[in-house]
Each structure stands twice: as C-alpha cells, then as structure tokens.
C-alpha cells in the first residue's frame, strides 16, 4: 500500500501489500479477463455488460456463498492490479491481435513489471508489492496513449476499465484490506491523473465522468482504521466528520496516519456528533498563562471605554499596543474606535487554549505580549506596499474588545461581521497548529490538520471568523501562513503527483464550502448563503452557550442580529432565526417536517429543528446525509411558517381503525401477549396494497440497543403508533422524494382543530378551508409488502376474524376484572382457539409455511398464533388525500 502517501512521521508502520498472484498477467484485453479464466460467475450481473456483447448465463452466488480468499485474491490482484497497470502502460491487447506496443515488447515489459514491483521482505522473507515504479511511470503512460489511432476513444476505454475496477471491488467480499485498498489506491491514482490531463487538454477532450469514489469504506464506522485512530486519541466525532466531508482514499489514509497533537484529551464521553473534550465550564473557566510557572498580573481593559465606543458610534473598539520606554515587559493597550484605513488584525482562537475570560475584559500580560509579538511579526512578514499598512497593526480580540455587560455585548455581537470583514488579516491561534513548523511540514499535512484535526475547525464561533475575512493567516511555530497559499502549494504538488491532487480536491471542496458565506463583492454587502451551506458548515461544530447558536447563524446569514439578540433564551432566538431565514429565502424547505430529531416546543414552531448543530442533539437518529437532504427542495415548493405551523403541500392519507366486528373494541384481546410494537400493518383498500409502518427512531436505535434497553423503551412508550391510530385522528404525510425500492419516509401526525375565527395573512381562505392542521408526532418508515407477504397477511386477517367471532371473545368483553379467574379462563380458551386456527391453516397451506419461512424465519410456526393479537386485533385502512394536500404541520 505504498502508493498511499503519508505524513513525514506516520502514526503507524506502513502496511505492506502481499503478493498473492498464482500466475502472471496474460496481456490480453482487460475487460474480458474473467472470460479467459472461466470466472464469469464472479462478475455481478449488472457489470457483465463490460465483458462485451452476448449473454452470460453463469449464476452469481457471491452474496450467499463468497469465493474463498485463497481463490478470489490471486484472481483479482492479477486482473485489477497488474492488469490495470499494464493497461495504463499500453501493454494489453486493444482487440484480438492488436497492441499499442508490439506484442513481444509488451510481453517482455509485463515480465519486467513483476520484477520491478514484487520484492521479498527482509523481515519475514515473504513476497510483497511495491508501487514505487508506478510513481515513475507517468511520462511513459502519457507517451503510450499517443500511440492510439484515436486518443479520445482510447481515453474513453481507459475510463471504462477504471469504472469496471471501481464497481468490481465492493462485490469481492473475501479480500484482505491491504489487497483491496492497494487496488483502490491504484485506481484512484490513475483516475485522478487522467482527470487532470483531460481537464487541462486543449482542445478539450470529452470523456465520461471520472469522479469515482475509491475509498470504499476505508474509514467505516467500527472498522480497523477507525478503531486504531480512536485508540490513538482521535474523537468519534472527528472520524464521523472525515467520513462525511471527504471522498478520497488518499485523503482518508493521510489523515489516519497523522500523529494526534492533543492525544491526551479524554474523548470517552464523546459521540459521533459531539466532542466534549473542548467544552468549557463557564463557571470555572480561567485564562491561562504562557507557562505553568508564570504568575504575571492580568492586563485589564476599561470596559467603560469599549462600551462608550459601541454606544456612541456605529463602529467598534480596537486596541493599540504601546511599548513604554525600552523595557520588554512595560507596555499598555490603548482603546481606539475603528476607522476605515486603520489596519488591525482580528484574533480567531479557541477559548479552551486559555485566551478567553467570561468575567472580565482582561488577560495575563504574558498572553497579551505574545499576541502583540505575533501580530508584529505578521506585519513584518506581509510587508505590503499600501500606505494604510505602514501604520502599526491594531489588535482586536473578543476577550478584550467585547464588553461583559449585556447591552454592550449585544451591540458588539451586532457588529461582529464587520469586525472580521474589515480586518486587514485574521490570525488563527490553535494550540494543535502552533506547535507545527510550516517550513518542514508538507502542505497536505498542514491543510488536513487545519480542516480535520484542529479544535478551531470544530467550534461554532470560529466558523464566522474563518469565513468572513478577506485575508486569513494560520499561526504555526515558525511563522504565520496564509491559508490560501497552502492551497496553492498543494495544488502545485498535485500537478506532478496525482496523490496530492486527490487530497487537494477534497480540501478545496471544504475550503469552498466556507467561502459560501463570503460577501459577493468582498465588501460589506453580504451574500445570501443557502441553508445547505449553513447546515454543512454547522454539522460538526460545538458551542458552549446554547443561545449563541442563533447569533452565529445571524452573522453568517446576514440576518437582523439585534432582533434575534433582543430575546435571551435559546428557543426564542431560534424561532426568530427561522422566521428571518424564511423571509430571506421566501420560505423554508418543507422536508424539515420529516427529518428532525429534536424540535422547538413553542406552538406553531413544533416542526422546527431546535438546532442545526449535530452536537446539540442528545440522541440523534438522523445522519449527515438526512440533515442535508431535508434542506433540498425546489424554489416553488417552499414551506411557509404560520401561526398554525409550517404550511406545506404533500400527498398523504388518513389512518382509519376498524374493529373486527361492530360490537368489538379495537383491542378485543387485551393482555393476550406482551408484545412490543415493532410494526403496524395498514391496507389500502382500493389498490389492495399493504404497507408496514415502522417508527424511525426505534428502527435506527435497534442495532445499538441491548435487549434491556429495547424492552425499557417499549414499556415506556406503550405502543405509541397504535394509540395514535386508535384516536381516529392519525395521518401520514409522504416524503415522495425519499421513495426508493418501495420504501419511503413519512411524517406521522394527529389532526387538530383550527379555531373558527382564525385569520392570518400567511393563509388565504381557500387554503384555510382545504388545509388540515396537524401536530407532528414522529417520523416513520413506510414499506410496501411483497405479494408473498400480502397473501400471508390476508390469511392471518381472516384467522383473526374467525377468533373475533368466537363466543369467548364476546364473553371476555363482559368481564371487567382482568385479575379474576373467570378472565384468565376465558383468555386461555381464546389463546387455544388462536393456536388451533393457525395450526389448521399451516397444516393445510404449504405455501403459507414457506412464506413464513422466507419472510419471518424458520422454526417459528408454533409462535405464529401471536400474530393474531399482535397485528390483527383490528384493521387499519388508508384514505388518501389529494396529491397536493395543504398541511399546517406543528
């Protein structure tokens, strides 16, 4: 796996790829190798078109009976590693008897290929593959493609070979990770290199998309790589962020090999979405000195001076560092109002590193001195020619420039966007980065540490500090480096090495996401970022004060911060934030009603997510993808906040419960079994289709719950879906965009009355008359039953009707004391009847027995009687609404 680039000091020893081939590559056409080797049965049916014209009837059993590792690994390594490398070098047949390189020369080069890539390790005397020769072959590969009669057709063929390889790898189950990812690394190397060549071609060469995903779950949750990273001090939320943010195998491997600079942090209580290691306790927080043995006094800024500027002007305070005489430790900070043309550096820092102070505008003098020295060094380093920058740089740091008193602090927050937009530079101070030497460290490592491993990238307040400025510098041990310059350096490295180009592609995507909050013209006129940009940026951020999130969103989205800050509690601020976001975009994505783990509690807003921070949700069951998908919608389908709830238009249905007989209750056999509510079965009478309803939350949690946790949840919830449906007010609202393989997501809700005299400008009379006001209760997963399952359900429904007509069922209704012997005797007779009718049905219907085996499992016949009281104590039918039903979802 030496084709995967690593940092200069990798965290673990390099992984070697064993040579497992049992024969040499034959030099034939790449795509048809399985035919030549009689291995067509290993190719999934949906990939067999790559083999060429004709039909290939060989059965595919790999999912049920995977080929043993000893057989599959040699075949795939010969084909997809050596065969792919030979293809890129132009050594394979293009068609029968036709080569780019003369056949005898090609055969000799293939033999030499093995000689240069296979070696015997001195450690264990085993054979391994080295890809170093691949890195030296770029020029040869480029020259060989020119031998093709038609360059475009040749490149399209290579694209097909790469796509074929990319699709084949996941289908091979019995592969060692080193073998699997050595093939993936080779494929990504060639895909990235080819994409770069095509992108820079003039005239433009049109070829199929080369943006394949080669990481193939390299850092999958619970996998080997993640386990190793967690053991070395990574946070679970960091590995989750990496999986969500990056696509490159090179990127993921490089990150996985970074030495963790803050490995002593305790992440034992962290989750996939929340890192608690850098969370602060405001009550106990104290600013830090530069060293443990320092006891220098605090330098305090007169809050009256900063407040006066904020209250009496439309600007904000900045600080001038004045050296007194020649003594290094004799200095003062002078408060000045910012005026255009006066350059200053705004500090962006992580409070957990000790530069904060929640109780006073003061910091240890040693810290102030260090900050002043760093800014002076930055000014010397920049040395720009503009007159304004010949003036001594001023300083802005929140700890000293934002008043502690509430009124002044709120004014400062209103103007915070201007602070970062107007700064000559913003300087990032993060203890995990200031220990790195920028000259001795590759730009790939520096950038990946910034974007993947720095606490600075995880805090909410630092988001705006990194997205709004015109010039952002990151402080390292030797000097400060402009972030964009690092991107330029990495791009230059990528032009000669596709491995670094793949890392650059991932990093530039992360960089561009943050640029979505920049103003359109670089001045004060703000851009209007989309909610998708906002959600992506906030997902893995954390904040110590919950009510700060709406203020940060306000700054990023150019909302009215003063209006939001006028309320103090988090819920009220978030309501105002959603209100202003709706006005900004002309509405809100309607799919919010389907994907929200924790919502606001205020009536009219009970559909709105309480937070966009993944870290703020205590028990999340929606992942990063769902958080993004809920914000995808067409401009003409936006939801509108109203006093009744979010006004949306979706198809849906009413759920109507029916007793098995007119004189029976919906649950004629209470207590017959102690069932957990794992599903609800409903029927659409007009079409004859049946559907299964599962609670989203329960379904997502099952894999992580213990039996005791599941039982406790079911006991506490007490059949919530059934109770809602029994009310006769239950509805389902369909998220049609989620429909996939007869499964879709739906919002379950209860109908509520609209006051007779209700009027509001956001709802016209037609909408008010046709609309349904509902209270959102949960998200459910709705799946269509197969024809086989429908036959089974129909039979059990009929059996339930037989038991319902049984005299003892009517007798049970007349017994009021459920603890009486009379009740127990009657219930015992009913259970016996249930067993009898089910046993008779199974004995007379082999097809039913087979269906139960296929859909539920083997050896469960004796328990199937419980299906009657569990599923069919009553029936539930669907009454469809119009496809554009108006809902007011609260």
Q: Which of 70-79, 530-539, 577-586, 725-734 is the least confident region?
A: 530-539
In 3-state terms the chain splits into helix, strand, coil percentages (rounded to 5) of 45, 15, 40
Region 874-884: mean pLDDT is: 95
> What tens digit of pLDDT does each residue of 674-710 get?
878 899 999 998 999 999 999 999 999 998 899 999 9
Q: How far apart are CA 140 and CA 142, in angstroms?
A: 5
Q: What was the pLDDT predicted at 638?
A: 94
The pLDDT of residue 527: 47
pLDDT digits (tens, 9 = 90+) for 657-672: 999 998 899 999 998 9
pLDDT digits (tens, 9 = 90+) for 121-145: 999 999 999 998 888 888 899 889 8
Bigger pLDDT: 503 or 353? 503
Distance separating alpha carbons of residues 690 and 692, to the nearest angstrom: 7
Using only the alpha carbons of the chain, give its radius of gyration.
33
**Nearest alpha-carbon partner for 214 in 495, 499, 512, 14:** 499
349-369 pLDDT, tens digit per residue, is 988 889 999 999 999 999 999
Distance CA 552, CA 416 (A): 10
What pLDDT, on a 0 to 100 scale, did the predictor assign at position 822? 94
Report which secondary-structure segment, H or E, holds 331: strand 331-337
Return the pLDDT at 212: 85
* pLDDT (0 to 100) of residue 387: 52
Average pLDDT, the chain: 91
**What digits encode the pLDDT tens for the residues 399-425?**
999 999 989 998 999 999 999 999 999
Given pLDDT bands bounded at 50, 70 and 90, which one contains residue 597? confident
Categorize the per-residue pLDDT at 385 as very low, low, confident or very high, splitting at 50, 70 and 90: low
pLDDT at 329: 76
Residues 805-859 pLDDT 10s:
999 999 999 998 989 999 999 999 999 999 999 999 999 999 999 888 888 888 8
pLDDT on residue 328: 65
Q: Tell me what percent of the residues of the chain surpass a pLDDT of 90.
A: 74
Find the mean pLDDT for residues 256-263.
Answer: 87
Which residue, among 328, 349, 333, has the nearest Cα to 475 in the 3D structure? 349
Quick one: pLDDT at residue 523? Answer: 43
Read off the pLDDT of residues 177-192 as tens digits, 9 standing for 90 and up: 999 999 999 999 999 9
254-257 long-range contacts, CB within 8 A, separation 24+:
254/4, 254/5, 254/6, 254/7, 254/444, 254/445, 254/448, 254/503, 255/448, 255/452, 255/453, 256/11, 256/218, 256/219, 256/225, 256/228, 256/229, 257/6, 257/7, 257/10, 257/11, 257/12
Mean pLDDT of 756-766: 92
The helix (H) or strand (E) run that includes residue 697 is helix 696-701
DSSP-assigned letter for residue 719? S
Say what the pLDDT of residue 521 is: 47
Domain locations along the chain: 17-214, 298-515, 531-634, 652-880
Q: Which of 258-272, 368-382, 481-495, 751-765 has the least mean pLDDT?
A: 258-272
pLDDT tens per residue, range 2-53: 899 999 999 999 999 999 999 999 999 999 999 999 999 999 999 999 999 9
CB 838 within 8 A of CB 864: yes
Decide: 598 and 611 in contact? Cβ < 8 Å. Answer: yes
pLDDT one-digit tens code per residue, 508-558? 999 988 887 765 444 434 445 789 889 999 988 988 889 999 999 999 998
What is the tens place of the pLDDT at every residue in 767-794?
999 999 999 999 999 999 999 999 999 9
């Amino acid at each position: 796996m030496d084709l995967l680039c690593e940092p200069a000091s990798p965290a673990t020893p390099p992984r070697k790829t064993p040579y497992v081939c049992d024969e040499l590559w034959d030099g034939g056409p790449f795509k048809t190798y399985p035919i030549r080797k009689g291995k067509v049965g290993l190719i999934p049916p949906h990939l067999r078109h790559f083999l060429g014209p004709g039909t290939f009837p060989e059965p595919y059993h790999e999912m049920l009976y995977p080929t043993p590792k000893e057989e599959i690994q040699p075949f795939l390594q010969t084909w997809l590693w050596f065969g792919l490398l030979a293809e890129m070098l132009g050594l394979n047949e293009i068609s029968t008897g036709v080569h780019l390189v003369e056949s005898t020369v090609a055969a000799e080069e293939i033999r030499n290929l093995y000689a240069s890539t296979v070696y015997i390790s001195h450690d264990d005397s085993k054979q391994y593959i080295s890809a170093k020769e691949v890195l030296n072959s770029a020029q040869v590969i480029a020259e060989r493609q020119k031998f093709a009669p038609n360059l475009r057709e040749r490149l399209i063929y290579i694209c097909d070979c790469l796509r074929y390889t990319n699709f084949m790898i996941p289908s091979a189950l019995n592969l060692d990770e080193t073998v699997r990812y050595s093939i993936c690394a080779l494929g990504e190397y060639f895909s990235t290199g080819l994409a770069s060549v095509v992108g820079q071609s003039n005239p433009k060469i049109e070829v199929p998309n080369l943006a394949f995903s080669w990481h193939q779950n390299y850092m999958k949750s619970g996998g080997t790589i993640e386990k190793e990273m967690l053991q070395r001090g990574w946070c679970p939320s960091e590995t989750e962020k990496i999986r969500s943010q990056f696509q490159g195998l090179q990127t993921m491997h490089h990150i996985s090999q970074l030495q963790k600079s803050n490995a002593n942090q305790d992440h034992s209580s962290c989750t996939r979405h929340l890192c608690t290691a850098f969370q602060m306790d405001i009550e106990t927080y104290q600013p830090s000195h530069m060293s443990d043995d320092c006891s220098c006094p605090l330098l305090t800024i007169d809050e009256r001076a900063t407040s006066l500027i904020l209250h009496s002007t439309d600007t904000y305070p900045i600080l001038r560092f004045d050296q007194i005489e020649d003594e290094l430790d004799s200095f003062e900070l002078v408060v000045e109002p910012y005026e255009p043309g006066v350059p200053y550096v705004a500090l962006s820092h992580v409070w957990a590193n000790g530069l904060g102070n929640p109780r006073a505008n003061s910091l240890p003098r040693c810290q102030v001195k260090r900050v002043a020295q760093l800014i002076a060094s930055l000014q010397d380093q920049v040395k720009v020619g503009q007159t304004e920058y010949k003036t001594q740089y001023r300083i802005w740091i929140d700890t000293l420039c934002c008043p502690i008193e509430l009124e002044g602090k709120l004014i400062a927050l209103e103007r915070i966007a201007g602070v970062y937009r107007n700064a000559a530079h913003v300087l990032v101070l993060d203890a995990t980065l200031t220990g790195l030497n920028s000259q001795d460290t590759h730009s790939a490592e520096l950038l990946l540490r910034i974007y993947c491993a720095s606490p600075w990238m995880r805090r909410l307040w630092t988001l705006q500090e990194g997205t709004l400025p015109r010039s952002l510098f990151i402080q390292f041990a030797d000097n400060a480096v402009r972030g964009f310059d690092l991107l330029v350096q990495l791009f230059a490295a990528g032009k000669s090495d596709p491995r670094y180009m793949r890392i650059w592609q991932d990093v530039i995507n992360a960089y561009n996401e943050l640029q979505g909050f920049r103003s359109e013209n670089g001045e004060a006129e703000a851009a209007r970022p989309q909610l998708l940009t906002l959600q992506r940026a906030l997902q893995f951020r954390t904040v110590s004060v919950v009510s700060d999130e709406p203020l940060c969103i306000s700054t990023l989205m150019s909302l009215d911060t003063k209006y939001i800050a006028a309320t103090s509690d988090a819920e009220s601020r978030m309501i105002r934030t959603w209100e202003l976001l709706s006005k900004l975009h002309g509405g809100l994505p309607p799919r919010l009603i389907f994907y929200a783990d924790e919502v606001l509690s205020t009536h009219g807003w009970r559909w709105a997510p309480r937070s966009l921070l993944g870290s703020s949700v205590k028990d999340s069951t929606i992942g990063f993808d769902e958080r993004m998908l809920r914000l995808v919608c067409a401009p003409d389908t936006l939801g509108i906040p109203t006093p009744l709830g979010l006004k949306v238009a979706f198809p849906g249905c009413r759920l109507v419960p029916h007793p098995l007989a007119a004189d029976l209750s919906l649950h004629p056999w209470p207590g017959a079994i102690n069932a957990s509510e794992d599903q609800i079965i409903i029927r659409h009478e007009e079409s004859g289709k049946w559907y299964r309803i599962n609670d989203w939350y329960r379904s997502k949690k099952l894999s992580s719950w213990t039996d005791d946790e599941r039982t406790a949840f079911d006991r506490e919830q007490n059949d919530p879906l059934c109770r809602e449906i029994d009310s006769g007010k239950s509805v389902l609202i369909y998220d049609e965009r989620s429909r996939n393989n007869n499964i879709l997501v739906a919002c379950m809700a209860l109908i509520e009355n609209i006051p007779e005299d209700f009027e509001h400008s956001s709802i016209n009379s037609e909408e008010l008359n046709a609309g349904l006001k509902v209270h959102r209760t949960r998200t459910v997963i709705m799946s269509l039953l197969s024809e086989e399952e429908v036959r089974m359900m129909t039979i059990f429904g009929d059996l339930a009707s037989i038991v319902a007509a049984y005299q003892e069922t009517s007798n049970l209704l007349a017994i009021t004391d459920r603890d009486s012997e009379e009740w127990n005797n009657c219930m015992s007779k009913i259970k016996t009847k249930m067993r009898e009718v089910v046993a008779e049905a199974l004995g007379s219907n082999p097809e039913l027995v087979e269906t139960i085996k296929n859909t539920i499992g083997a050896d469960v016949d004796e328990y199937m009687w419980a299906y009657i009281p569990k599923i069919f104590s009553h029936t539930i039918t669907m009454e469809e609404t119009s496809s554009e039903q108006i809902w007011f979802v609260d």
